[in-house]
């Protein structure tokens, strides 16, 4: 990647499949919300809040997988397959253990979990029915996600994309069949969405495991060797990965608390936020592709010891991400009616709230997008996981969360005011993070 053409060729080879996979996953989530929207605002809010439990779980998975990917990318760059396989195996073990805990909590006490976020009995009832069933997909999702990230980090983004496409087809079909009782299946409402998710996640995991075992994958090694974890390995793994796991866990908890603050404003406002976030996730697909490509390419470059091109590549990623973010953000802000055509069943009140929120979300999107590349792509790709931890935790817990609750519980702001106060987190991260990038202190070689 010593010249511009090599850089863009490599970047596109990684970013396009990841972006397509992200598009499929995001569109599937949007499709779920579209189907459920016909069941009323209580169903939208209930499933949306139930998915905050799942979101919190996936943030722990994301932290484990992306933290491990920093090591996997560098080990792959230097051809050390034994260490690479151990890292992936240990990541799977952590994710599976966490999934068991979340599954038991969601199955045993769904009402209590949702009661921590909202006090509307109708919303809690709908969300609990969904949560107690969809919880059985958590382990499937976690293991699939960790191995998908590892496959990308070893230069195979196409297999996770194929798994996502198959998962999308199964999820869309069975969601429609079970939610509305089509093709001879029982009509299960919100529970049908959970059943469709379980089937889809099972198929994704089957495809991922088949790819790893059937083809000559760097992740496929002797089981006994991969799971033979010595003290020095665990210490090195935790030194690099643990800050990322803590980072994503508490960042995810912060996002859950934002949902609690939004729920304080009202049920219709909570439903509107879920719809707008579904649209924002669709718009985020290119940024996710760039962020992951940045992590992998910077990690591989550092692993090969070619240090002189690491910083220029980081700046190039930030510039590309900024341009894409501005274009997409302006589109979201200026054309809310176009995006909301995906949700024709919304009540007039929820529809109007969504239009207002999208006007603000375009600006917030720009900040989120650049920060995603800056933190997930550049800082983590360079192995600067401890600094990323302090930057994100400080921004969420010292700035965003306190201001969001101040707006919702004390100042009684409308929903758009609370959302903008929560976005101060992004402003803080951007200002401090850019100074860190410029310092070049984020470039670390892992032994």
Please spell the DSSP secondary structure of 413-425, one letter per residue: --HHHHHHHHTHH
Rounded to the nearest 5 percent, the helix, strand and coil shares of the chain are 85, 0, 15
The C-alpha atoms of residue 219 and residue 209 are separated, in whole angstroms, by 10
- Residue 229 Ramachandran class (φ > 0 left, ψ -120 to 50 alpha, else beta): beta
Phi, psi of 345 (to 5 degrees): -95, 5
> Tokens standing for 252?
């995810």
**Closest-CA residue to 336 (of 315, 363, 310):** 363
Q: Is the pTM of this model over 0.75?
A: no
Longest dimension (CA), the chain: 62
Distance of alpha carbon 354 from alpha carbon 331, whole angstroms: 15
- pLDDT tens digits for the chain (447 residues)? 456 777 888 888 878 887 777 777 767 666 766 777 777 778 877 887 888 788 788 888 888 887 888 788 778 878 888 888 888 889 999 999 999 999 999 999 989 988 888 788 888 888 898 899 989 999 998 999 899 888 888 878 788 888 988 988 998 899 889 988 998 899 888 888 889 989 999 999 999 999 888 877 788 877 787 788 787 888 888 887 888 788 778 888 888 888 889 888 888 888 888 888 888 888 888 888 888 888 888 887 887 777 888 898 899 999 999 999 999 999 989 988 888 887 877 888 888 999 999 988 888 999 999 999 999 889 988 888 788 888 988 999 999 999 999 999 888 899 899 999 999 999 999 999 999 999 988 888 766
Q: How far apart are CA 42 and CA 209, in angstroms?
A: 38
Amino acid 194: pLDDT? 87
- CB atoms under 10 Å from CB of 351, counted, come to 17
Specify the pLDDT at position 173.
93
Please list, residue by residue across 360-380, b when 16 or more beta carbons sit within 10 angstroms of its beta carbon and e when fewer do.
bbbbbbbbbbbbbbbbbbbbb
Q: Hey, is 242 helix, strand or coil?
A: helix
Cα-based angle 172, 291, 7 (whole degrees, multiple of 5): 120
* Alpha-carbon dihedral angle through residues 267, 269, 272, 276, given to the nearest 10 degrees: -130
Length of the chain in residues, anyone?
Answer: 447
């Amino acid at each position: 990647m010593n010249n511009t053409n090599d850089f863009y060729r490599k970047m596109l080879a990684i970013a396009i499949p990841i972006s397509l996979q992200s598009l499929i996953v995001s569109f599937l989530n949007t499709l779920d919300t579209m189907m459920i929207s016909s069941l009323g605002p209580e169903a939208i809010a209930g499933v949306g809040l139930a998915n905050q439990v799942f979101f919190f779980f996936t943030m722990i998975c994301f932290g484990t997988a992306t933290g491990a990917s920093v090591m996997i990318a560098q080990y792959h760059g230097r051809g050390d397959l034994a260490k690479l396989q151990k890292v992936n195996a240990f990541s799977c073990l952590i994710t599976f253990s966490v999934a068991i805990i979340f599954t038991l909590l969601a199955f045993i006490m769904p009402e209590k979990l949702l009661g921590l976020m909202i006090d509307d009995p109708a919303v809690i009832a709908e969300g609990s029915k969904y949560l107690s069933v969809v919880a059985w997909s958590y382990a499937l999702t976690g293991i699939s996600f960790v191995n998908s990230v590892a496959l990308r980090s070893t230069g195979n983004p196409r297999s996770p994309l194929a798994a996502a496409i198959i998962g999308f087809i199964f999820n869309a079909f069975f969601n429609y069949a079970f939610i509305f009782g089509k093709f001879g299946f029982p009509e299960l409402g919100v529970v049908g969405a959970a059943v469709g998710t379980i089937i889809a996640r099972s198929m994704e995991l089957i495809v991922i495991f088949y790819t790893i075992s059937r083809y000559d994958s760097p992740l496929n090694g002797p089981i006994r060797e991969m799971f033979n974890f010595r003290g020095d390995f665990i210490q090195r793994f935790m030194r690099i990965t643990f800050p990322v796991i803590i980072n994503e866990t508490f960042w995810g908890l912060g996002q859950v608390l934002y949902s609690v603050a939004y729920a304080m404003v009202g049920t219709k406002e909570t439903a509107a936020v879920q719809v707008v976030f579904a649209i924002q996730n669709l718009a985020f697909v290119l940024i996710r592709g760039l962020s992951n490509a940045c992590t992998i390419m910077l990690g591989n470059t550092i692993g090969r010891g070619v240090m002189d091109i690491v910083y220029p590549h980081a700046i190039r990623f930030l510039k590309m991400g900024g341009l894409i973010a501005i274009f997409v953000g302006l589109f979201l802000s200026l054309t809310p009616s176009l995006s909301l055509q995906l949700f024709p069943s919304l009540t007039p009140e929820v529809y109007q709230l969504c239009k207002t929120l999208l006007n603000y979300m375009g600006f917030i999107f720009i900040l989120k997008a650049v920060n995603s590349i800056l933190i997930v792509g550049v800082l983590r790709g360079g192995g600067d996981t401890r600094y990323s931890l302090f930057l994100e935790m400080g921004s969420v817990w010292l700035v965003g969360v306190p201001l969001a609750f101040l707006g919702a519980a004390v100042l009684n702001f409308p929903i758009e005011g609370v959302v903008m106060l929560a976005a101060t987190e992004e402003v803080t991260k951007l200002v401090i993070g850019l100074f860190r990038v410029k310092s070049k202190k984020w470039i670390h070689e892992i032994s």
